[in-house]
Amino acid sequence: MDTRSNSHSLAFEVTHRLVLSIAIPMTLGFLTTPLLGLTSTAVVGHMGDPEALAGLAIGAMLFDLILGSFNFLRASTTGLTAQAYGRRDQHEQQAVFARALISALGCGLALLCLSPLLRAAGLRLMGAEGAIAEATATYFSIRILAAPAALANYAILGFVLGRGQGGVGLLLQALINGINILLSIYLGLSLGWGVAGVAWGTLAGEVAGALAGLFIVLSGFARAERPAWPEILSRHRLAELFALNRDILIRTFVLIGAFAIMTRIGTGFGAVTLAANAVLMNFFLLSGYYLDGLANAAEQITGRAVGAHYRPAFDRGLKLTTLWSFGLAAIVSAFFLLAGPWLISVLTTSPEVRQAAGAYLPWAAVTGLTGALAFLMDGVFIGATWSVDMRNRMLMSFAGYLAMLAVFVPLFGNHGLWLAMNAFLLFRGFFLAMLVKPRADQTFRAAQ
């Protein structure tokens, strides 16, 4: 076969509209997540039981940690699906989805089996006792039942994103979080179930999302392209998937560790500074929602270009997603610098915390800018499935972060802590960006 002729037949145009058709829906979908957290907190808060509210907070954080560790299911599925989509290989797209779904359900069932141990470890880790521990255990025991559905939703979301179906991704995110919010309010407040009601609402949302997602995905499959079980369970393909998942998992754990270290060091500066840092981290998290949306666009376009063996689409996609990432990052950073004092006053009523947060505001405001390249490069490397490079460069960035902490925290205190975090974001972006051209040259040359 003439590869150049085949590449030409698989060519596609990358436009601003294509980038935004993926980025905007996913950003909107991600923005429903904090609404969910606020609703859960408000529902339990209105019960007038501070122990229940503390138990909910601990339980929710444990699930953020546990389920967040399995984000590789979403990322790897997006990259592999996008490449098969770029090749217009519907047969392999179905196989990728089947492998991802089997992996997700297997991991979910494993979490169910390990739930007593995970619950006990979580309670011990957080030091929860008495009524707080009881509320956490209630929430955990109900919500863990949703683990298979929650992880299946990762695989489903990864698949639809790999095909560039941002609208479907938004629909599913809105369905999951919408049902969760409505049932949490009804069960938790109207029926007075409190923490248990919130947990059952979450369970219902995840299950409804998984069922709807499976219906949408499976109804789009052509029977003639259905892969046989030996193909789905191919040792080579499974090894490829597990290696990709392993690298992304290591990268995720290192990232979680970096933020955990920041919180731990911040604790040593006292309650006021710790609270100020917690308030300011909301600015970084908000920046992360739109950066994640653009990273999703980069994943799909990059993976599709690699699958199609079409370098012009890769280069154009990289250029446009970079333009949008830094443009929006600059706007959001300027907004936080100007509106930051007002936002801080909304988030906390403590004069001491407001004053401390104001002092460190500039560091938090620019995290969108310093992190823009890191988010974007993660998307590029996931889409191209250059996972070994992403893992190794994350480890290099983490080493640089630890060095910055060792030097600047003793010199500048909490200013040094925020300086190190911004440097960590910059390291992640630039260390990966240095590899893009040589890896792209290698990938597309091998395809010729």
Residue 390 and residue 302 in contact, taking contact as beta carbons nearer than 8 Å = no
Q: For residue 370, report the phi and psi dihedrals to the nearest 5 degrees.
A: -70, -25
* pLDDT tens profile 263-300: 888 878 888 888 888 888 888 888 888 889 999 999 99
Residue 260 and residue 277 in contact, taking contact as beta carbons nearer than 8 Å = no
Question: 78 is written with which tokens?
Answer: 């997006």
What is the Cα Rg of the chain in Å?
22
Residue 341 and residue 37 in contact, taking contact as beta carbons nearer than 8 Å = no
DSSP 226: P
CA angle at residue 421 from 329 to 75, to 5 degrees?
A: 65
pLDDT in tens, the chain (448 residues): 444 445 556 789 999 999 999 999 988 887 777 667 667 777 777 666 677 877 777 888 788 888 888 999 999 999 999 999 999 999 999 999 999 999 999 999 999 999 999 999 888 877 777 888 888 899 999 999 999 999 999 999 999 999 999 899 999 999 999 999 899 999 988 888 888 999 999 999 999 999 999 999 999 998 888 998 888 888 888 888 899 999 999 999 999 889 888 888 887 888 888 888 888 888 888 888 888 999 999 999 999 999 999 999 999 999 999 999 999 999 999 999 999 899 888 777 788 888 998 999 999 999 999 999 999 999 999 999 999 999 999 999 999 999 999 999 999 999 999 999 999 999 999 999 999 999 999 999 865 5
Question: 80 is written with which tokens?
Answer: 């592999």
**CA-to-CA distance for 299 and 380, rounded, in angstroms?**
5
Q: Which of 32, 350, 7, 47 is nearest to 189 (CA)?
A: 47
Question: 143 is written with which tokens?
Answer: 């919500």
DSSP run (H or E) holding 239: helix 235-267
Residue 142 and residue 199 in contact, taking contact as beta carbons nearer than 8 Å = yes
* pLDDT tens profile 50-90: 778 777 778 887 888 888 889 999 999 999 999 999 999 99
C-alpha torsion sign, points 170, 175, 176, 179: positive
CA angle at residue 65 from 61 to 67, to 5 degrees?
A: 110
